[in-house]
Amino acid sequence: EILKGMPLHQKVCQLFIVYPEALTGISPVLATDADLEQALADWPVGGFLFDKKNMADRQQVTNLLTGVQAMTQIPLILTCDEEGGRVNRLMSTVGTTWIGPMLDYKDDGTQTAFENAQTIAADLLSCGFNTDLAPVADVWSNPDNTVIGDRAYSDDFAQAAELVAAAVEGFHAGGAACTLKHFPGHGDTSADSHDGAVYVERTRDELRENELRPFQAGIDAGADAVMIGHLTVTDIDSEPAPFSHQIVTGLLREEMGFTGVVMTDGLQMKAMTDQYSSAEIALKAVQAGVDMLLCPQDLESAAAALEEAVETGEIPSARLDESVQRILELKLRQGMLP
């Protein structure tokens, strides 16, 4: 019913999760004001990603998140990277429960993985968040890999699958939606997609036997979203994974049975911006089957390109509606919609 009443611009805006600074042009955003309210009215995005710069203390964070949510017609996905260990936003700023890197707990069993995720989720909810960009489903299978390293739940594929599934259940027990990342697996790479193109030299069968196991376990446990890494899997497609219909739709949706929200990794990373414009990225990703675009370098040009593509028929309106429906369904499951 909500989808039926949405104009094109509002539908397209729902596909974006952005930093609040992308709307205001002022950094850092620490509180709501009339300018932010007007920006949200003009650009009714699907969600906000918050970083350490947005966090001074717990009350300030809670006021900010409560305030932005009150400004929107369709509630926002409010998220951050709260994995534990070196990748956290709240633990080291406002003093939520400290949980170390996931690899430290790899031999402590599924109950610990569940409890850690439940604690992180409950802390997020207490500050006004509803979604976490975690758990990491990558496996630290390459010792030269520093971008994943101790962020992984394990260096063993079977163990990681068990622990990631338990973590998904823990996030849900704590009340937060969760996101498996970085599909189809960043753990065997030696390069970092923040700095440039990254290649995965695994065959499709090798991925199925190894990297995909924790993702499948997380999907089977009910993960709400899957983040696509800026990875080029040369055996499957010459295009980066977010642009690959074979990976997003063929592998993730059809073969692995994922029906939730597919999002990109941060689109400000050099693996994307070195080679593509924000407009190109948006078009290629949506055509491949991606639902949400995380932090494009240029929101206006990305949104304009998608609106024009729907108006000309380059992207069927039914394709756009599929993504918006998945986003709204996530919001409905989280109790964000009436």
Judge residue 4's burial from the number of C-beta atoms within 10 Å of its C-beta, 0-12 exposed, 13-18 middle, 19 or more buried.
Answer: exposed
Placement of tokens 């206006």 in the chain: 300
Helix and strand numbers, DSSP H then E, in the chain: 13, 10
Q: How many Cβ atoms are within 10 Å of 28's Cβ, its own excluded?
A: 16
In the numeric block, which tokens belong to residue 256? 């692995």
Active site residues: 194, 265
Residues 230 and 269 sit within 8 Å (Cβ to Cβ): yes
Residues 286 and 320 sit within 8 Å (Cβ to Cβ): yes
Contacts 24+ apart (CB under 8 A), 246-254: 247/183, 247/184, 247/288, 248/288, 248/289, 248/290, 249/288, 249/289, 251/184, 251/204, 252/183, 252/184, 252/226, 252/228, 252/289, 253/289
Placement of tokens 């009443």 in the chain: 5
